[in-house]
Structure 1
Amino acid sequence: MKKFKPQPGFAVLAHKLALDPNATAERRLYSHAGGARAAYNWAVAYVTAVWWQRKAEQSYGIPEEELTAWRSWSLPSLRKAFNEDKRTSPRFAGWWEGNSKEAYNTGLANASAAFDNYAKSKSGRRKGRTMGVPRFKSKRKARLACRFTTGTICIEPDGHHVTLPRIGRVRLHEHRADLRALADAGNMRILSATVRLDRGRWCVSLQVEEKHELVKVARPDAAVGIDLGVKTLAVYADSDGALGDEPNPRHLDRAQRQLRRASRIVSRRQGPDRCTGQRPSRRWEKANQSRNKVHHRVANLREDTLHKLTTRLASEYGTIVVEDLNVAGMGRNRRLSRRIADAAFGEIRRQLTYKTRRHGTRLVVADRWFPSSKTCSRCGVVKAKLPLSTRVFECDTCGLVLDRDANAGHNLVALAARTTGSGVAGDLDNAPVAESKPRGADRKTRTTRPRRKAQAGRAGGTIHSPRAGKETGDRQQATRTQLALW
């Protein structure tokens, strides 16, 4: 999908609003979300049917030029084929006219993006984890969502309702007359709306083009360093030397008793079995919904806590320094994985990123191997080892005794004075030279093998770059991309 470019002075933002639909509106929402899922499954079957057909023909010895032609998965091609098939297919006969065309376009667009991701991942042109072949979406497990880009999308003058195409007026859970006032003043224009069943409640996300106005922070010249942890969610020290902390509420730990009881009830019901095709009983579905409500409440409490913390910090300080934590690697610790996931370190950084941009302030991300906890905040000496069980930092040189997290906060806020440029990871001045810097105290051991390259150079051989070999393979495979995808 083509990215929208806002006008000068405007920015593309999103407003997520909770809905309170009546029975009629809720039935239409389910119908549109189901139509999007049905269109997605149709596109997956439409494209992969040719893959299986070509594979069967190849087993019969049919030559390449006589095989069934490939089917394109581009959005215009899928939309054209779907419009021709929906009028004659018994799968859509009798009910496809009751939904907006945007419902089916949502499913087709998602299928086209899924096949693009698979093709790029197969050829090595996509970063991240390997993407598999798109699969069908289950009626019971699929996430219900539908996106509207055309039609009447507006907030009613009373501020209590939103109008969506073919769905009509839907009541909002909260009064949002402020958004209506922005639209009336010409400072906001709605681009699209996405309805989604999220945590048991229907929500609508409005993508808008809104006039960008910087909100001045309380202390624009002050900086703060934030050290995240499990015992204490955040310990922050500002440039004036003041310390503060945010206790970790541990919402998931507090709900463990309810979750265990709800899980026991679910386990005693007749649940689904994929091997035998057994369907869950009504009592199992009811018990599963009760368990999901506990998870939803924990997620809502966590989201509220993180938003309050990040909003308070972003609206007060002109510079915020955080660490580049390897949250995925930390989550592999079987003893701390649940508490690390409950703390949501990655979500804190994500919220600080866009909230500092909204206020026009600076966010500095320290290097992942910056020794914030091992460095003395008074004299700068770096310890060789500091186990996680040691909660108090004791400097052997100057005799400083300070809490481990508070010491890390002071080091992070001192890093803001030595930062240049945009403040991203690695965009730092030269680090201060410590008096006694142990080996490997601030940098991970290299994983490359320069010894092998040196031997190849002495032998007079050519050192082939893996990247160059990969690019050559991609060029050779570009002529048979479709065949290599299956």
Structure 2
Amino acid sequence: MPSVFALWNAINAQVNVGMGGVAKHRSGERAGRPVGFPRLKSRHRSTPSVRFTTGAIRVEPDRKHVVLPRLGRLKLHESARKLAHRLEAGTARIMSATVRRDGGRWHVAFCVEVDRVQRLPARTDATVGIDVGIKHLAVLSTGTYEPNPRHLDAAQQRLRRLGRRLSRRQGPDRRTGQRPSNRWRRAQTQLGRAHARVANLRRDGLHQLTTRLAGTYGTLVVEDLNVAGMLRNRRLARHIADAGFGELRRQLAYKTLWSGGRLIVADRWYPSSKTCSGCGAVKTKLPLAERTYTCTSCGLVLDRDVNAACNLAALVREVTTAGSGPVAGRGADQKTRPDGPVAVKRQPGTATADQTGTVPPQGGTTHQTLARAH
């Protein structure tokens, strides 16, 4: 039997290992915001969830019930016919099941290994550039504007009212040991459901948009945006988070693989908005308030977002000729320098070392996705 000193030394060793990451964060050796002392997982702070990987996991023949280990037969509010059809056809195999509470409701998610049929987009040879934004969620190089529903703004009044109601209830207090009242719990549940509804609406809209784009165009070009840096703008942070730029790109990454297309990610510093899609001239500065792009070289007058989307679509020819793989980009390692030339004519989508805001070709990145069936 180990002594008390041995157990104490083992605990200290584990704490030191855990605090090593904290020290590296605070000293600047690791990227990201600093973390605090590690806290143990608690059922009061964490989301209730349980995952089953072995045992009886199946869908009942009536499509309205599932069987899980230790929980038995559970009734579903939604039909599981799609999953049941794949299981009966032998094109899917359940790997695990996760039961999770979200927004006051219990959900069961099945991780399934699926044999997908080889598909092709409706327009295999078509290429589209996608410029995401706040005014319009996505602007395509074809001139199509995808509206931004702004679900969080629409529900902001209700969320504020529920938040004020929750603040007037008797909540928990860790210092005095005060337990929350039942009215506080009900108000917290209502606020959680309101937030969950906004998240579900946003997720559904992004899925519909990305599925349509991946199933229509053979090649899609998007930007590598610094979303974490954009969220530091306190005036636009809420609108940027509500749009879901990162989720849109994540869904396009795996849906293009499913549909047989390809996704090209432009370099983060590629000046898509500052470049003229007609003659290739690059502007040194382009304020965000200037919504119409006016070229001083060729006289092109075009919407700022459509011009950026056209420049993204023009990257496909450069990537194809350079042979840098399915996911690549062109751009600069820093912002457009103010001391450079104001306008330099070049072919749209090309990059040379002596031009403002561009450098020689850079390597690309690959995307790995995981498929889930719910």
Report the TM-score range of the alignment, normalised by the length of the smaller protein. Answer: 0.7 to 0.9
Q: 1:426 to 1:411 in 2, by over 3 A?
A: closer
Residue range with higher mean Cα deviation, 398-407 or 140-149: 140-149
> Is the contact between residue 271 and residue 279 of structure 1 (CA under 8 Å) also seen in structure 2?
yes
The letter for the 1-side match of 2:131 is D
1:70 matched to 2:10: yes
Count of aligned positions = 334
How far apart, CA to CA, are the structure 2 residues paired with 1:141 and 1:163?
Answer: 28
CA-CA distance at 1:127 after TM superposition = 7.4
Which of these two proteins has the greater Rg computed from alpha carbons? 1
1:415 to 296, 312, 315: 315
How far apart, CA to CA, are the structure 2 residues paired with 1:117 and 1:188?
Answer: 41
1:153 matched to 2:57: yes
The letter for the 1-side match of 2:281 is V
> Is the contact between residue 194 and residue 204 of structure 1 (CA under 8 Å) also seen in structure 2?
yes
> Is the contact between residue 382 and residue 436 of structure 1 (CA under 8 Å) also seen in structure 2?
no
How far apart, CA to CA, are the structure 2 residues paired with 1:426 and 1:216?
Answer: 24
Could you say which residue in structure 1 is the equivalent of 2:209?
Answer: 309
1:335 matched to 2:235: yes
Could you say which residue in structure 2 is the equivalent of 1:203?
Answer: 107
CA-CA distance at 1:398 after TM superposition = 0.3
Residue range with higher mean Cα deviation, 277-286 or 202-211: 277-286
Deviations 1:272-296 (A, max 9, x none): 2333332222212212222222211
> Is the contact between residue 251 and residue 342 of structure 1 (CA under 8 Å) also seen in structure 2?
yes
2:270 to 370, 385, 388: 370
How far apart, CA to CA, are the structure 1 residues paired with 2:207 and 2:327?
Answer: 22
The letter for the 2-side match of 1:432 is T
> Is the contact between residue 93 and residue 112 of structure 2 (CA under 8 Å) also seen in structure 1?
yes
Query: Aligned with 1:278: secondary structure?
Result: coil
How far apart, CA to CA, are the structure 1 residues paired with 2:232 and 2:179?
Answer: 34
> Is the contact between residue 365 and residue 425 of structure 1 (CA under 8 Å) also seen in structure 2?
yes
CA-CA distance at 1:304 after TM superposition = 1.0
CA-CA distance at 1:121 after TM superposition = 3.7
1:299 matched to 2:203: no
Deviations 1:345-372 (A, max 9, x none): 0000111111111112100000000000
Could you say which residue in structure 2 is the equivalent of 1:324?
Answer: 224
Q: 1:359 to 1:118 in 2, by over 3 A?
A: farther
CA-CA distance at 1:140 after TM superposition = 2.5
Could you say which residue in structure 1 is the equivalent of 2:118?
Answer: 214
Q: Which has the higher helix share?
A: 1
1:255 to 151, 155, 166: 155
Q: 1:422 to 1:201 in 2, by over 3 A?
A: farther
CA-CA distance at 1:193 after TM superposition = 0.9
CA-CA distance at 1:148 after TM superposition = 0.6
Could you say which residue in structure 1 is the equivalent of 2:89?
Answer: 185
How far apart, CA to CA, are the structure 2 residues paired with 1:228 and 1:247?
Answer: 10
CA-CA distance at 1:69 after TM superposition = 5.8
Could you say which residue in structure 2 is the equivalent of 1:39?
Answer: none
CA-CA distance at 1:171 after TM superposition = 1.8
Q: TM-score, normalised by structure 1?
A: 0.63
Deviations 1:397-423 (A, max 9, x none): 000000000000100111122113433
The letter for the 2-side match of 1:422 is G
The letter for the 2-side match of 1:259 is L
> Is the contact between residue 381 and residue 437 of structure 1 (CA under 8 Å) also seen in structure 2?
no
The letter for the 2-side match of 1:174 is E
Query: Aligned with 1:315: secondary structure?
Result: helix
What residue ranges of structure 2 are gaps of 5+ in the alignment? 332-346, 360-374
How far apart, CA to CA, are the structure 2 residues paired with 1:343 and 1:224?
Answer: 20
Deviations 1:11-42 (A, max 9, x none): xxxxxxxxxxxxxxxxxxxxxxxxxxxxxxxx
> Is the contact between residue 330 and residue 351 of structure 2 (CA under 8 Å) also seen in structure 1?
no
Q: 1:151 to 1:295 in 2, by over 3 A?
A: same
> Is the contact between residue 382 and residue 434 of structure 1 (CA under 8 Å) also seen in structure 2?
no
Alignment of 1:6-405 (within 5 A): 70=10, 118=18, 121=21, 134-237=38-141, 242-405=142-305
How far apart, CA to CA, are the structure 2 residues paired with 1:424 and 1:334?
Answer: 32
Deviations 1:24-76 (A, max 9, x none): xxxxxxxxxxxxxxxxxxxxxxxxxx9xx76xxxxxxxxxxx78563799xxx
> Is the contact between residue 315 and residue 329 of structure 2 (CA under 8 Å) also seen in structure 1?
no
How far apart, CA to CA, are the structure 2 residues paired with 1:404 and 1:155?
Answer: 51
> Is the contact between residue 374 and residue 386 of structure 1 (CA under 8 Å) also seen in structure 2?
yes
> Is the contact between residue 321 and residue 366 of structure 1 (CA under 8 Å) also seen in structure 2?
yes
Query: Aligned with 1:226: secondary structure?
Result: strand
CA-CA distance at 1:199 after TM superposition = 2.2
How far apart, CA to CA, are the structure 2 residues paired with 1:337 and 1:369?
Answer: 21
What residue ranges of structure 1 are gaps of 5+ in the alignment? 1-49, 55-65, 74-113, 444-486
How far apart, CA to CA, are the structure 2 residues paired with 1:409 and 1:288?
Answer: 43
Q: TM-score, normalised by structure 2?
A: 0.81
